[in-house]
């Protein structure tokens, strides 16, 4: 476990271990939950489908395309529970493939028309 106080800055890094140097790692979704087995209900979203949900979330420069760096401040969620778990989904794409999901940024689902 990692112990943090409210509003403490947290910095994370994820790295892809591959001999293929042409890959890009990108953060797609990160969700916090008090239950390590449930990331669907009672959760706190930091980023979802590339859309930043928490105003303190930031991505940071990495000299390696296979490394994603990001951070955020500990939120009020952490004061309500004895432990908070973080689950992140990352994307692996071909570097410089600008049509890939890694380069699309925030992807919000379009709503369907409910007209008859």
What global pTM score does this model have? Answer: 0.85
Give residue-wise pLDDT tens across range 18-39.
999 999 999 999 999 999 999 9
Give residue-wise pLDDT tens across range 53-105.
999 999 999 999 999 999 999 887 777 888 899 999 999 999 999 999 999 99
Report the topology of domain 8-97: Immunoglobulin-like (2.60.40)
Secondary structure E strands in the chain: 9-15, 23-33, 44-48, 51-52, 58-60, 67-73, 85-94
The Cα 70–Cα 13 span in angstroms is 6
Each domain of the chain, given as residue ranges in start order, spans 8-97
């Amino acid at each position: 476990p990692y112990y943090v106080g409210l509003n403490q800055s947290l910095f994370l890094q994820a790295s892809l271990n591959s001999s293929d140097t042409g890959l890009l790692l990108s953060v797609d979704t990160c969700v916090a939950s008090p239950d390590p087995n449930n990331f669907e209900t009672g959760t706190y979203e930091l980023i979802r489908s590339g859309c930043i949900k928490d105003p303190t979330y930031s991505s940071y420069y990495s000299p390696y395309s296979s490394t994603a760096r990001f951070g955020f401040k500990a939120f009020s969620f952490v004061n309500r529970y004895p432990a908070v778990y973080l689950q992140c989904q990352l994307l692996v794409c071909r570097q410089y493939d600008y049509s890939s999901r890694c380069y699309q940024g925030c992807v919000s689902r379009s709503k369907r028309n409910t007209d008859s």
